[in-house]
Chain A
Amino acid sequence: EAGVAQSPRYKIIEKRQSVAFWCNPISGHATLYWYQQILGQGPKLLIQFQNNGVVDDSQLPKDRFSAERLKGVDSTLKIQPAKLEDSAVYLCASSSQGTGANVLTFGAGSRLTVL
């Protein structure tokens, strides 16, 4: 099966600019996640969607970050305005939820550098 697709893979912007990342999950996966991975750290959950509804966005800096998942498939994560500390890899993941192991499958990530 096709994996989780993300774009762009790399993005360099100046602080205070805006950026958007796109994610297409595995077909049929109802749950989609955005994680932020700062260099040298483990990933941190930013937002979790179940279909097109938000399940958890408690760690999303809502003053500058926004995310949507229209029609319960693709998702977009936006940062506006960006700060230096937003430099990180943004990982999208999806899972089928339900009972069982609920293994998250991660995409390759979008690496953001804020100058």
Chain B
Amino acid sequence: ELKVEQNPLFLSMQEGKNYTIYCNYSTTSDRLYWYRQDPGKSLESLFVLLSNGAVKQEGRLMASLDTKARLSTLHITAAVHDLSATYFCALDSNAGGTSYGKLTFGQGTILTVHP
């Protein structure tokens, strides 16, 4: 059974600080996604990582993928309050097959940024 584990599950940060969320998974895949979810809202796509060594950056967020270690990271630089949300990583377990989109999600990391 495919497992996707995130840590930490809860993260309280001060504005201006840096931190990293880790996403470990149990099977090979070359498609990993990061989503953001605000309370009561749906999921917003942040990054898609398609190959080993892939790195993507958007504003204060940077995501990377190491398929050999089965690890993805989401790094937050100089956090601001607007980044407070729940962050999910998700692995596409059909990757390499004929159909994509069967995502297995991690438990989510609840990020709170305070002054």
- Verify A42–B88 contact, CB threshold 8 A: yes
Chain A residue total in the interface (Cβ 8 A): 26
Chain B interfacial residues counted at CB < 8 A: 24
Going nearest first, the 8 A-B pairs with the smallest beta carbon separation are A42-B105, A101-B48, A102-B100, A106-B42, A106-B43, A108-B42, A103-B45, A55-B99
Q: How far is the CB of A113 from chain B (nearest CB, A)?
A: 14
A40 to B33, CA, bound (A): 19
Which one of A33, A41, A42, A45 has the greatest number of beta carbons of chain B within 10 Å?
A42
CB < 8 Å: which of B4, B48, B99 contacts A50? B99
Judge whether A31 and B101 touch: CB under 8 Å. Answer: yes
Point out residues on B near A: beta carbons under 8 Å: 4, 31, 33, 41-45, 48, 50, 88, 90, 92, 94, 99-108
Q: By the criterion CB–CB under 8 Å, are A97 and B43 in contact?
A: no
* Residue A25 interfacial (CB < 8 Å): no
B106: chain A residues within 8 A (beta carbon)? 42
A–B pairs, 10, beta carbons within 8 Å? A31-B99, A42-B108, A44-B105, A45-B101, A93-B101, A102-B48, A102-B92, A102-B100, A104-B33, A108-B42
Q: Nearest-CB distance from A28 to chain B (Å)? A: 16
Q: Which residues does chain B contribute within 8 Å of A97, judged by CB atoms?
A: 99-101
Of residues 70 to 115 in A, which have CB atoms within 8 Å of B's CB atoms?
91, 93, 95, 97, 101-109
Contact B42 A91 (CB under 8 A): yes
Residues of B within 8 A of A102 (CB): 31, 48, 92, 100-101
